[in-house]
Structure 1
Amino acid sequence: MNDKAFTFQTLHPDTIMDALFEQGIRVDSGLTPLNSYENRVYQFQDEDRHRYVVKFYRPERWSAEQILEEHQFALELQQDEIPVAAPLLFNNQSLLTHQGFYYAVFPSLGGRQFESDNLDQMEWVGRYLARIHQTGSKKRFTARPDIGLKEYLIEPRQIFETATLIPRSLKAAFLAASDSLIDAVMAQWHGRFTTLRLHGDCHAGNILWRDGPLFVDLDDARNGPAVQDLWMLLNGDRAEQRMQLEMIIEAYEEFNAFNTDEIALIEPLRAMRMVYYLAWLIRRWDDPAFPRNFPWLTGEDYWRKQTATFLEQVKVLQEPPLQLTPMY
C-alpha cells in the first residue's frame, strides 16, 4: 500500500457527473456526500428516480487488482444470498475509471442502524458472519494483504518515529508506550488459525438493518482470522462482552465451526487496530479533510490520552483472555 498523500482536490462535482454520464447514468439530484474519510462517496438519484451510491477510491491506496478482489468477494457473497452491498456491473465491469480515478457504482440500499446492544440482532449477525466466512474460505485474496504485525504495528511505529504531529515534549513517552504495546501484542500473537477472506472492518457502523443485517463497505477486506470479524461487535464490560461473544459464536456455529483458539487474539487485534488507526490519521494529515475533522490531533491532551490508552491496553493484554462458559 502506497502512503503517497492525495487530497481529492481535482474531484469536482462536474467530474463525478461526467463519470456517471459515461455509464449512461444522468444525475437528477444533488450529490449528497456520505461519511467516508478514506474515499469519496456520494448518494444521488437518477432521472428515473433510482437511487445510487458512487464511490471514488483514494488513489495510491489500493491497486486495480486489489479493488477488483474486493468487488469479486462482494459479488460472490451476493451470489451466495448473503445481504451485502455489491457493485453494479457496466459492460460486465465493476471497476470504472475517469480522469485517473477508480470508481464504482452501488445501489443505494438504506436501512436502520444496527443496534449493537440488541442481542437478537447480534444473533442474526453471527449467523451471517458464518456464511460470509464460508464463502471467504473458498479461496484467498492474492493481491490484498493479510492482517499481520508488519502492517499493523511495525510500519505504524516507523511513522510515529518521524511524525511531526506528536508534540516534541511528549514524543518519548508516547514512543515508549507504543513499544510496550507492540511487545505485549507480539507476546500474545499466535498462528493457530486458518486464514480466510474477511469483511475486515465489521463494526456496527458497517451493518444496516433491513428485516435482517445488511453488510456494507468491504473496502478493508483482507485475509485473516475469523475472529477479526467478530470482536468489533463486542461492547460493554468484560461480563457483557463474554455474553455477547457466546451468543455470536453459538449462532455462528449453526453454519460454520469456530476455532476457539482465536478468542485469545481479540485483545491483540484491538491493540493492533489502535496503533494502525493512529498511524492512518498521521498518514492522511495532508488531506484537508483530516485537519478539518480531527482538529484535536494537534493538541497535547490528545497525545497524553493516547499514551495512557496504549499503556492501559498493555495491562489488558497481560490479563487472561475472555473465556467461554464451560459446557457440561
Structure 2
Amino acid sequence: MTASPDPAPHADQPYAGLTPHAVLDALDAAGLRGDGRILQLNSYENRVFQVHLEESLDPLAPLPGVVVAKFYRAGRWSDAQILEEHRFTQALAAAEVPAVPPLALRVADDLRPEAAGIALLGDPPTMAKLGGWRYGVSPRCGGRSPELEDPQTLEWIGRFLARLHLVGQQARFEHRVTLDGSAAARASVQWLVDSDLLPMGALGGWHSACLRALDAVDVRFERHGPLELMRIHGDCHAGNVLWTSHGPHFVDLDDAVNGPAVQDLWMLLGGDRHEMQAQLGALLDGYETFREFDRRELALIEPLRTLRIVQHSAWIARRWNDPAFPIAFPNFESPSYWAQQTTQLHEQIEAMAEEPLIA
C-alpha cells in the first residue's frame, strides 16, 4: 500500500482533492483496507463515504464489513471539538443508548507513521489526520426515517432522547459551542451585512427583521432565567434519527452543543399548532418515563427556531465558494430568497409573541 495524501484543502475548493482514490488511501493508512467499493453519501458540510472493507485477517477481532468515513470540513471544528463529539458518542454507546460510535484506528501494519504522514488522535485514537484531511470512521448502521405521525414512535423517540440527556448531563463540553441566546446569531447577521452577498434592495428589510427577531429571542431567554445546559445532539431532526426493527438510533452528532433539552425536541415537530401540540405530548410522555422535563423550556421553541433560520442563511453564505452550495441553493443570491427570509422572520416575531405550546 502507498499512502498518497492530497494537498491541504482550501476555501474555494475545500474537497477538490478528495477523490475515491484519496479516500481509500486514507482509510488504508488507518488500518482499514477497502475492497474498492465506495459510495458518497449526502452531506453538505462534510464529505461522507460508505466503504466496503476486505475481510479481516484476524478472526479474533473481525472488522465491520462496511464502514462510513466522515472527512471533516477544514476550519470548522478544532481537533479538540471533533474529539469531544467522538467521546460523547462513545459515552452514549457505553450507556447502551443507541448511537454509532467511531472506530478506534491504528496505523496500517505495513506503514511507519512518519513515512505515511498519518497522525492518530484520541484515546483510543478515533480521528486521523493525513495530508490536509481529518477524518473518523464508524460502522455502517442503516435504517429508515421514523414515522413521526405515529404517537408510539414519538414516545419511543422521547424515551431515547431522555436517555441521551441523562448521559449528556453528566458533563459539559469544554470546547464546543454553547447554545444559550442570540450572541452567535447576531455575529452571523453582522458578518452577512459586511459580506456584500445580499442584494442591495433586500438588505435593509432583512437586517431590520433580523434585529427585531433577535431582540424577541433575547426577551424569551431572559424571561426563562438560568438554563440547565448539558451536552445534547443539537441537530435532532428526522433525518438524523434512523429507525430499525429495534427502534431508533441517532446519527451525526457533528453539531453537538451545550444547550437546553428542548433543542433536541422541537425539530421533530411539524404541522399546525394543534398537530405540534399532540406530537409534543407524545414525545414528552416517552421522555418523562426516564427524565423530568422543565416545561418552562417550551417557551424557547420559537426563539430556537428563529436562531436556526438566521444561522442557516449565514451557513450557506459562509460556504458559497464551495461549488456544491450554488448548485444546492440556486436562489440564494436572488431578491426572492431574502424576501422570503424576511417574511419568515416577521412570522417568527409574531410566533414569539404568542403563548408557547403546552403539553
- 1:19 aligned to 2:26? yes
Count of matched residue pairs: 322
For 2:44, the aligned partner's letter is: Y
Which of residues 9, 14, 26 in structure 2 aligns to 1:7?
14
Q: Which ranges of structure 1 fall in alignment gaps of 5 or more residues?
A: none
> Which residue is equivalent to 1:43?
50
TM-score by length of structure 1 reads 0.94
Q: In 2, are the aligned partners of 1:112 and 1:210 still within 8 Å (CA)?
A: yes
Q: In 1, are the aligned partners of 2:31 and 2:105 still within 8 Å (CA)?
A: no
> Which residue is equivalent to 1:159?
191
Which of residues 327, 343, 349 in structure 2 aligns to 1:314?
349
Q: Which ranges of structure 2 fall in alignment gaps of 5 or more residues?
A: 1-9, 56-63, 107-123
**Greater relative contact order (Cα 8 A, min sep 6): structure 1 or 2?**
1
State the distance in 2 between where 1:152 and 1:191 align: 19
For 2:67, the aligned partner's letter is: Y
Which secondary structure does the structure 1 equivalent of 2:332 belong to? helix
Q: Which deviates more, 28-37 or 52-61? A: 28-37
After TM superposition, list the pairs within 5 Å mapping 1:1-328 onto structure 2.
Answer: 7-48=14-55, 50-91=65-106, 92-189=124-221, 190-211=224-245, 212-324=247-359
Deviations 1:89-139 (A, max 9, x none): 124311111112110011111111112222211111000100000000111
Q: In 1, are the aligned partners of 2:152 and 2:282 still within 8 Å (CA)?
A: no
Q: Which deviates more, 43-52 or 88-97? A: 43-52
Offset at residue 150 of structure 1 (A): 4.7
State the distance in 2 between where 1:4 and 1:15 align: 19
Q: What percentage of aligned pairs have identical amino acids?
A: 43
Q: 1:184 to 1:229 in 2, by over 3 A?
A: same
State the distance in 1 between where 2:357 and 2:316 align: 30
Q: 1:28 to 1:151 in 2, by over 3 A?
A: farther
Which secondary structure does the structure 2 equivalent of 1:244 belong to? helix
- Report the structure number with the largest CA radius of gyration: 2
State the distance in 1 between where 2:47 and 2:292 align: 37
Q: Which deviates more, 190-199 or 119-128? A: 190-199
Q: In 2, are the aligned partners of 1:13 and 1:31 still within 8 Å (CA)?
A: yes
For 2:162, the aligned partner's letter is: A
Offset at residue 25 of structure 1 (A): 2.0
Q: In 2, are the aligned partners of 1:6 and 1:58 still within 8 Å (CA)?
A: no
Q: CA RMSD in A?
A: 1.6
TM-score by length of structure 2 reads 0.86
Q: In 2, are the aligned partners of 1:165 and 1:297 still within 8 Å (CA)?
A: no
Offset at residue 6 of structure 1 (A): 6.1
Offset at residue 165 of structure 1 (A): 2.6
For 2:40, the aligned partner's letter is: P
Offset at residue 5 of structure 1 (A): 6.3
Q: Which deviates more, 253-262 or 150-159? A: 150-159
Deviations 1:52-85 (A, max 9, x none): 1000001111111110000000000001001112
Structure 1 runs of 4+ off > 4 angstroms? Answer: 3-6
